[in-house]
Amino acid sequence: MKKKIEPPHLIFLLLLTACNPSPKPTPEPTPRPRAAAFATPTSTARPFDYYLLNLSWSPEFCHSHPNAIECTQHSTFVLHGLWPQSNSGTYPENCSTQSGPRNPAAYSDIYPDLGLLVHEWRTHGTCSGLSPDAFFTLARTAFRSVAIPPELSHLDHQISMPPGQILDLFAAANPSIPRSSFALSCGNNYLTAIEVCLNKNAQPTPCGPIRSCRANTVRITPP
């Protein structure tokens, strides 16, 4: 029986295949993990009923703190804080040691003083149940929602008026905020702050137990 002889070109192909086995398939690259949106952990919420938005009268503060950063701007009302409050008249403070926002400079429009921002977060923001960025975004929204009466925003000399009249000016300048949501703070018969009571969505709510200034007349110093 004759032995089958393979053609030369077929023998060459068989030898080439033996020396160069088929390469293994290239594995698919491992996908990169996606950053979770809004994955910032929230602070420790404590029971509270509403927020108290405190807007300090800058000229009075700057009278005793002339070198403060915010005093170079000669502002009228500036944001002091957004404070959780309870209907019982109490309020939670210092609820956790969670760090504040990663980029505090993002809120320099409402807190030019970094020290004040850190204080407000530690003392009040940690009790809100919100992440740092969510808390300060809410504070900015609340602050910008309050219009300053023109009688006070363009003040160029000291004036005096009863607390009720000041509250009337704010109610007139902010028709969407009831007068019952405003309160006034004073010290030694000088205006120190206007306060606005807001629910947890930054909508106006009656102030309830918040005590307003009881002076007969309040003096208002110009910027």
CA distances from 29 to 26, 32, 215 (A): 9, 9, 73
Which of 210, 102, 97, 218 is closest to 163 using CA atoms?
A: 218
From the candidates 80, 93, 119, 154, give the one annotated as an active-site residue: 80
Question: 120 an active-site residue?
Answer: yes
Domain presence at residue 176 = yes
Residue whose token pair is 């927020």: 51
What are 29's two structure tokens?
């690259």
Mean pLDDT computed over 194-218? 95
Query: Is pLDDT larger for residue 10 or for residue 95?
Result: 95
Could you tell me if residue 44 is inside a domain? no
| Interval 31-60: pLDDT, tens | 333 322 223 445 566 799 999 999 999 998
Q: Give me the number of domains the chain comprises.
A: 1
> Residue 145: which CATH number?
3.90.730.10
Q: Is residue 100 part of a domain?
A: yes
- Pairwise CA distance, residues 204 & 51, whole Å: 9
Joined tokens for residue 122: 């530690």
- Lowest average pLDDT, out of 20-34, 156-170, 172-186, 194-208, goes to 20-34
pLDDT in tens, 133-168: 999 999 999 999 999 999 999 899 999 999 999 999
Owning domain of residue 184: 50-220
Look up 124 and say whether it is catalytic: yes
**Residue of higher predicted confidence among 15 and 74:** 74
Say whether 154 is catalytic: no
Count the Cβ atoms, other than its own, within 10 Å of residue 126: 27
Chain-centre distance of CA 207, in angstroms? 21
Q: Which of 60, 70, 120, 195 is catalytic?
A: 120
Take residue 177 and report the two structure tokens written for it. Answer: 């905020």
Q: What angle do CA 56, 60, 65 make, to 5 degrees?
A: 100
Which residues neighbour 172 within 8 Å (Cβ) at sequence distance 6 or greater?
A: 149
* Residue 109 Ramachandran class (φ > 0 left, ψ -120 to 50 alpha, else beta): alpha
Give domain status of residue 43, yes or no.
no
Catalytic residue among 6, 63, 65, 124, which? 124
Residue 104 falls within a domain, yes or no? yes
Residue 4 inside a domain? The answer is: no
Please give the pLDDT value at position 166: 98
- Asked if residue 16 is part of any domain, the answer here is no
Does 148 map to a domain?
A: yes
C-beta atoms surrounding 216 within 10 Å:
9
